[in-house]
């Protein structure tokens, strides 16, 4: 599946490949999080849907119930969540579902692109809270559960801005660079001592509301839809990528 650190968007799992697995997806009500949640459910996984709005979570819950195992919903506002909320989430998953085999960190906010010199301080804090601090706290709280899985996968959604930099991306760019650093540190700490593998994946430009907010004047139809890149995430969360650890990956465009 991997060539020069790329992952094919055309990946198709064998039926019920993820049966019995429990996978937590943040940002599960929109964009890539939603698309990957659907693919996970179709492959047999029980998906824990994390998002801010109960009505939107319930709508995704209904979708997934029609195509796979009954999911679970967990409303949480990552911007306002405190230190105590993350262990409570981990405890709830452990008590009600009994295991956790993977986390996809898909939730992100854009912030307010501007020069660092002029960057709004409150917007900086809010963006880092959702995009970097929340993934750290959620991962930290859930690691004991992940360690108990025979094959756990921790996936951070990245961005070329976090890897290569670029002007005016401010807190968003810094947060993605921070996730890359967090991924590498975790991968080094967990290598050879646990069944938890850790990777990041850059989906490239995708036709999501996030993309439209970032590039409001961009012509429609230029980029793939979220469901057209979801296969790469599915592969990375499943057992067929068991040997991949500590890698900064990029989605290869679909051949379809």
> Which residues are tagged catalytic?
172
Is residue 134 exposed (0-12), middle (13-18) or buried (19+ Cβ within 10 Å)?
buried
Between helices 170-190 and 121-128, what is the axis angle to 10°? Answer: 30
Give the separation between CA 234 and CA 27, rounded to whole angstroms.
16
Q: Phi and psi for 164 in degrees, rounded to 5? A: -110, -15
Phi, psi of 239, rounded to the nearest 5 degrees: -70, -20
Q: What angle do CA 133, 198, 234 make, to 5 degrees?
A: 105
The vertex-58 CA angle with 55 and 64, nearest 5°, equals 150
């Amino acid at each position: 599946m991997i060539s020069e650190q790329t992952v094919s968007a055309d990946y198709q799992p064998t039926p019920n490949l993820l049966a019995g697995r429990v996978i937590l997806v943040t940002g599960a009500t929109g964009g890539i999080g939603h698309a990957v949640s659907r693919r996970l459910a179709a492959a047999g996984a029980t998906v824990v849907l994390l998002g801010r709005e109960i009505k939107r979570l319930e709508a995704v819950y209904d979708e997934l119930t029609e195509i796979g195992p009954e999911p679970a919903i967990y409303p949480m506002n990552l911007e306002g969540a405190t230190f105590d909320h993350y262990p409570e989430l981990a405890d709830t998953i452990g008590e009600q579902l009994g295991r956790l085999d993977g986390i996809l960190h898909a939730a992100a906010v854009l912030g307010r692109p501007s020069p660092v010199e002029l960057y709004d301080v409150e917007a900086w804090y809010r963006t880092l809270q959702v995009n970097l601090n929340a993934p750290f706290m959620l991962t930290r709280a859930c690691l004991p559960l992940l360690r108990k899985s025979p094959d756990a996968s921790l996936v951070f959604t990245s961005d070329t801005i976090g890897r290569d930099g670029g002007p005016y991306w401010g807190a968003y760019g810094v947060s993605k660079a921070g996730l890359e650093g967090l991924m590498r540190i975790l991968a080094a700490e967990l290598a050879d001592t646990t069944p938890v593998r850790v990777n990041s994946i850059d989906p490239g430009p995708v036709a999501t509301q996030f993309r439209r907010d970032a590039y409001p004047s961009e012509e429609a139809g230029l980029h793939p839809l979220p469901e057209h890149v979801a296969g790469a995430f599915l592969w990375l969360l499943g057992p067929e990528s068991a040997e991949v650890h500590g890698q900064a990956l990029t989605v290869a465009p679909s051949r379809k």
